[in-house]
Amino acid sequence: MAIDTHSETAGKPSGEKKQKRTSPALFYRQVVNELRKVIWPTRKDLITYTTVVLVFVLIMVAIVSGLDALFTEGVLRIFGGS
């Protein structure tokens, strides 16, 4: 169960005692403990995810660039450009 690190817990009546602040050392230990639970991706997974993201970004750049060129051409034809 997580420990509330705020000075006041939400939803408690104002008459109850405030909890003590978490010390930096305890916070650090909690962070390290949570990071141990993380399932880190393998090198193969990381390369796959990176490739998928880069391909997606390149496709989106191509779409946006194409639409920009199309709209630019349309505006120049409508309003007459040099």
Number of separate domains in the chain: 2
- What confidence score (pLDDT) does residue 19 get? 78
Interatomic CA distance for residues 2 and 20, integer angstroms: 14
Interatomic CA distance for residues 73 and 63, integer angstroms: 15
77 and 46 both lie in a single domain: yes
pTM more than 0.85? no
25 and 13 both lie in a single domain: yes
- What confidence score (pLDDT) does residue 24 get? 92
- Within a 13 Å sphere around the CA of 68, how many CA atoms are in the beta-carbon half? 6
Q: For residues 30-39, give the mean pLDDT.
A: 94
What is the per-residue pLDDT across 37-75, written as a single tens digit (0 to 9) for each? Answer: 999 999 999 999 999 999 999 999 999 999 999 999 999
Q: How confident is the model at residue 33 (pLDDT cuts 50, 70, 90)?
A: very high
32 and 52 both lie in a single domain: no
**The pLDDT of residue 5 is above 90:** no
